[in-house]
Amino acid sequence: MKLTYKHTKRACYMAYITGALINNFATLLYLTFQTAYGITLSQVGFLMGLNFAVQIMVDLLGAHYCERIGYRKCIVGAHFFAAAGLVLMAVLTSVMPNKFAALIISVTTYAIGSGLLEVLVSPITEALPSERKSANMSLLHSFYCWGSVLVVGLSILFFSLFGTENWQILSCLWALLPFVTMFIFMFVPINTLKSEKSSMKSMFASKTFIIFMILMACSGAGEIAMAQWASFFAESGLKVSKTVGDLLGPCLFAVFMGIGRVLYPMLSGKIKLARYLTLSSAGCVITYLIASLSSNAYISLMGCAFTGFFIAVAWPGVLSLASKHNPTGGTVMFAILALSGDIGCTLGPQIVVLGANKMNILSSPIHSGLLLSAAFPVIMIVCLSLLKRRKHSRG
């Protein structure tokens, strides 16, 4: 069978499901790690931070080396590291006496794979022959959302049937996804976006590109800040179990975000991307305010869910908009923007905690933290307005 660009696109979809797997599977096991291995809450926090810290370093290195090494070798390597990390997490926690060290090795390994995926999957998709670049990018990123729902849903089903104590088996089973995708990427056709030699220097010297970096950071922060706390909202506000909290919190958030990313391709021919991003950012401000200011737990939860819908196009939309503004940016541009987004993902939840600890002006600390996080979409609106003004001044 002759493999075409359609197979490449499908492989990219599978790659984003792998990214969702890496970022969501371990979070379902943190309580298990605490009870079974004596991992402290601070150590759990370290593992969460380590995942994003490694991804940030890989983003930075990818800007320099991915084009030199080649897209195919790097994307195959990304899936190898992702699969290896999941297998190592199952094996090393069984054989190593220091369970925390075993988890550090495993998280570092699969985070390398996840970081490479962030650097490569978007430019590989952008390089595919198509006249609907922004629509394709939004649809691609929707598979991260559906992947999140799939990982959480199937993992909860497995734990219900076979018990959480058998999580190592599930970790090895999940490793089959990146392992299979790795082989697909060995053979599908892949185009390459070439960066100009002076692109990195010129990008950092460009005020417009700095605005795009801020937009990406706010996209990541606005998404992860709510996603990380949605389960807490469901559990504390509705007084439900952890399982139900995960389904009503992060799962519901991911479903609405997936709907938003599937909907935009249908509207892409009718509304300009920059305007759509501005409107969705305004909607995101409203849903953050609803989630933080409402005294009704169910209304707060719906605010969380609809934040997923409105923040949906932010990450892929900013990538597409930046590519239109800088068509010669290539892999370097996507790597730097992925780096900016990951920095936002790292800072977003911490700003929620900061607001919870320092503001203390609403009914609960978490409500105060989310109120502060409404600043992220506000900053996005300001940045998009600045981009519009700069475009008109040049025109």
Q: What is the pLDDT of residue 61?
A: 85
* Confidence (pLDDT) at 13: 94
Alpha-carbon distance 289 to 283, whole Å?
10
The answer to whether 369 and 233 are in contact (CB under 8 A) is no
CA distances from 339 to 21, 102, 247 (A): 20, 26, 29
pLDDT value for 359: 67
Token pair of 188 as six digits = 């599908």
Two tokens, residue 367: 């409500």
1-191 and 194-395 have identical folds:
yes
**Rg over CA atoms, the chain:** 20
pTM greater than 0.85 (yes/no):
no
Token pair for 126: 């952008």
Q: What is the pLDDT of residue 356?
A: 65
How many whole angstroms separate alpha carbon 189 and alpha carbon 348? Answer: 37
Q: Quick one: pLDDT at residue 129?
A: 86
- Quick one: CA dihedral 195, 201, 203, 206, positive or negative? negative
Taking the C-alpha atoms of residue 379 and residue 362, their distance in angstroms, rounded to an integer, is 22
Q: Which two tokens stand for residue 263?
A: 């909907």
Which of 3.10.20.30, 1.10.10.10, 1.20.1250.20, 3.40.50.2300 would CATH assign to domain 194-395? 1.20.1250.20
**Residues 6+ positions from 352 with CB-CB distance below 8 Å:** 225, 228, 229, 366, 369, 370, 372, 373
CB 386 within 8 A of CB 304: no
Report how far residue 132's alpha carbon sits from residue 195's, in angstroms, rounded to the nearest whole number. 21
CATH class of 1-191: mainly alpha
Extract the runs of DSSP E, i.e. beta strands, from the chain: none
The domain limits of the chain are 1-191, 194-395
Secondary structure percentages of the chain, helix, strand, coil, to 5:
85, 0, 15
| pLDDT value at residue 55 | 87
What residues have CB less than 8 Å from 139, skipping those under 6 apart? 261, 262, 265
Closest CA to 212 of 69, 320, 99: 320
Beta carbons of 341 and 319 less than 8 angstroms apart: no
Place of tokens 């819908």: 309
Is the C-alpha dihedral spanning 108, 109, 111, 115 positive or negative?
Answer: positive
Side chain identity at 141, as an amino acid letter? H
Report the C-alpha gap between 148 and 63 in whole angstroms.
Answer: 27
> What pLDDT is stored for residue 250 in this prediction?
76
Task: Divide the 395 residues of the chain into consecutive groups of 10 and give the mean pLDDT of each group.
Answer: 88 94 85 85 79 85 82 95 97 94 96 92 87 82 90 88 92 97 95 67 83 94 81 66 70 89 82 92 94 82 89 91 83 86 82 70 68 91 91 61
Q: Rounded CA gap, 85 and 229, in Å? A: 26
Are 18 and 151 spatial neighbours (Cβ–Cβ below 8 Å)? no
